[in-house]
């Protein structure tokens, strides 16, 4: 089973692809979709959408996982974040992938072992769990974390679903 995890944001959207055969987790690829500060909102959202289409087409994940958001910041930043998250969900939905949502607490518990883990700990644990040479950028590490969380929640029988040939590539 191959899963894409997504950590959406208007300036940087992290993504990470992880595969499981029911015993081991394998890192396939990760990256950040970065938009330019001067870019218009439609331009930024268009880039998130088209890049996610490209990534899904290239790595062919079978399911998608996105973090549920409980924003404590102001209304304007919630609105902005909502734009990016809506586009990310629409992009993977457009490719026919089932989408699962997990709270930050679920992701941290699943990856680090307890719910109050810090960003840095998440990066480290993702690197260790996925046998990566170095830490992924923060947004990409968060995305890989959501993918790992989803794979940990899936029943074992589903994990053996054939995945496309692994590429082992880091973008």
Q: Which residues are catalytic?
A: 7, 67, 139
Task: Summarize as ranges the residues that interact with its own copies (CB under 8 A).
Answer: 41-43, 45-46, 48-50, 69, 71-76, 78-87, 89-94, 99, 101
CB 93 within 8 Å of CB 57:
no
Which one, 22 or 82, has the nearer CB to its own copies? 82
> Closest separation between CB of residue 69 and its own copies, Å?
6
> Closest separation between CB of residue 148 and its own copies, Å?
20
> Closest separation between CB of residue 44 and its own copies, Å?
9
Which one, 91 or 151, has the nearer CB to its own copies? 91
Which one, 81 or 159, has the nearer CB to its own copies? 81
């Amino acid at each position: 089973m191959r899963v894409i995890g997504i950590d959406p944001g208007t300036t940087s959207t992290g993504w990470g692809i992880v595969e499981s055969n029911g015993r081991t987790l394998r890192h396939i690829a990760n990256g950040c979709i970065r938009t330019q500060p001067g870019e218009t909102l439609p331009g930024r959202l268009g880039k998130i959408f088209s890049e996610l289409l490209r990534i899904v087409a290239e790595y062919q994940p079978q399911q998608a996982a996105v973090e549920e958001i409980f924003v404590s910041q102001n209304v304007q930043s919630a609105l902005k974040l909502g734009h990016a998250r809506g586009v990310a969900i629409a992009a993977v939905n457009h490719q026919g992938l089932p989408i699962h949502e997990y709270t930050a607490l679920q992701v941290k518990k699943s990856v680090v072992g307890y719910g109050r883990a810090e960003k840095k700990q998440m990066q480290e644990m993702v690197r260790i769990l996925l046998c990566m040479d170095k830490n992924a950028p923060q947004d990409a590490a968060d995305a890989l974390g959501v993918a790992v969380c989803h794979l940990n929640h899936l029943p074992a029988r589903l994990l053996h679903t054939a995945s496309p040939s692994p590429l082992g590539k880091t973008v």
